[in-house]
Structures are given as structure tokens and as C-alpha cells.
Amino acid sequence: MSWINKKQAFDQYVKQVNWYFTFGVFFLFSILVGLGIAAVKLNTVIHDASALPIEAVAIKGERHFTSDKEIQTALENLMQRSFFSADVNQVQSALEALPWVYQASVRREWPSKLKVYLIEQKAVAHWNKTAWLNSQGDVFEAPKKDGMTALPQLTGPNDEAKEVLEAYQQVSKLLSINGFFLTDLSLNPRHAWHAVLDNGIKLELGREDKMARIQRFIDVFPKLAEKVKQVATVDLRYDTGLAVGWEDAHKRAVN
């Protein structure tokens, strides 16, 4: 083969390679463009509430104080999103912001439902007259609801709420097995304890040995009950004894 023929063959080969390369680049570009268009359309559909709406929210869990209306109001704006674009964390936060909701868990259920499980706050005491304590000793604020049982009144610094609740449970148990019932317990800023029984007797317990002082009151009370006068206050802030305030003397002091 002559040099001219070899050059012609080589030029033809180069042209063929260039054509394949150009076709390959064009084909790849077409695929990328198609994928891009598909991604845009998919993203549009995913975020289109009319195409993939949330059609139902299933609520489970025992509820006494959280109404369907409150839940509907809390989720109203979030339900305007599509099934995929709705943020379950935001839904959870919105539900847990409701006053009587302690915890919420949320998950999607294909094709158009959100499943929610709610745990309500379990109030075990009034706290500082305006709030509540739950069974974990956490302070929370919520409106009072009809049908709530009578709860003890506890008072103290917010950062010591758990300690006050634990003290109430201990003192109340000791008193109840001896026929007394505790309705109020407070811890003042100086860390002194003050208790009130359901019969109106007020107990000053001081800062130390409150359980021993409660036991001293239990031991002495039968003798106090023999008196004609009604016991109003019992000051137990002494190492061995106690001081008693009588009802009629208390009334004269008040008047």
C-alpha cells in the first residue's frame, strides 16, 4: 500500500472515531438532560400537595385532655404539604407543643396517611399554684380540665421540683399508713419544709431530718388529740420536742 493510501485510510479511521465520540457525547448529554427533567418533574410531584396529599392522620394513644380539635389546629398548616414533603419532625414538635401532650411519635404510612402515637402528661401534683408536676417530676403548664381528680399542692424552686415530689411521696406514705393524709408540701428558698394535712394541721419540719420529725408527730399526736382544744400547728424544728399551736389561740391571733 502506498503512502497516500495509508494516509487516506488513517483519515477515514479518525473521522469514524470522531463520529463515534461525538455520538457518545451527544447520547450521554441527552441522558443527563432527560434525568434532569425527570428529577425536576419528580421533585414537583413530590412537593405538590394536590398530587400526593396527606389524606388522613391516624391518632393512637390514651387521651383525656387533648381534643381532636386541638390536634387539627396544631397540624393545620403542616397538612398543606404533600405526603413526601411533610416533615415528620415538625409534626412531632407541633404535637408536643400542645399543653397536655408529653410525647408524640410520627411516621408515614403509604400512600397518604400519617400515623401518630400520643402520650399525655400524667399530672400528679399542682406546682406553685399555676403549673403541674408529672410523674417524672417535670414542671409543665396546662389548663385545668374537667374531671381531674384532687391533687396535692406542692411548692418550691423549679430546679428542685423532682426533690419536692420525691419528698412528698415519702412523707405521704409514712403519714397515710398511720391514718393521716398530706395535702400540701412546700420547700422554701432556705430549704425548710412545711406540710399541711387534710384536717388542717400545719407541720413545720425545718431543714433536716424531716422523716424523723414526721414520725415524732405521729407518735405524739394521740396525746394531743385528747386535748379539748383543736391542734392548729405543730412545730417540729426541735431536736427532741415540739411546740403546739391551738386552734382557738390561732383564731384569736388572726382576729
Q: Give pLDDT tens digits for 52-107.
A: 567 778 899 999 999 999 999 988 887 776 656 678 888 899 999 999 999 999 99
Helices (H), 97-180: 161-176
pLDDT for 111-123, tens place per residue?
778 899 999 999 9
Residues recorded for the chain: 255
* Contact (Cβ atoms closer than 8 angstroms) between residue 65 and residue 120: yes
* Contact (Cβ atoms closer than 8 angstroms) between residue 165 and residue 125: yes
What's residue 45's pLDDT? Answer: 40
Q: Which residues pair with 117 in a beta bridge?
A: 60, 105
Report the interhelical angle of 68-75 vs 88-96 (nearest 10°): 130
Query: Nearest Cα to 82, choosing from 51, 57, 111?
Result: 51
What's residue 240's pLDDT? Answer: 82
- 253 pLDDT exceeds 80? no
**Calpha distance 255→249 (Å, rounded):** 10
Q: Which residues pair with 194 in a beta bridge?
A: 186, 204
Kindly report the CA angle at 160 between 157 and 164, in degrees rounded to 5? 100
What's residue 49's pLDDT? Answer: 42
User: How far, in whole angstroms, is CA 160 from its chain's centroid?
Assistant: 18
| pLDDT band (50, 70, 90) for residue 247 | confident
Query: Nearest Cα to 78, choosing from 86, 70, 67, 89?
Result: 86
Mean pLDDT of 124-139: 96
Kindly report the CA angle at 168 between 163 and 171, in degrees rounded to 5? 120
Q: Which residues pair with 134 in a beta bridge?
A: 123
User: How far, in whole angstroms, is CA 64 from its chain's centroid?
Assistant: 15
| pLDDT band (50, 70, 90) for residue 229 | confident
Residue with cell 393521716: 180
* Contact (Cβ atoms closer than 8 angstroms) between residue 160 and residue 192: no
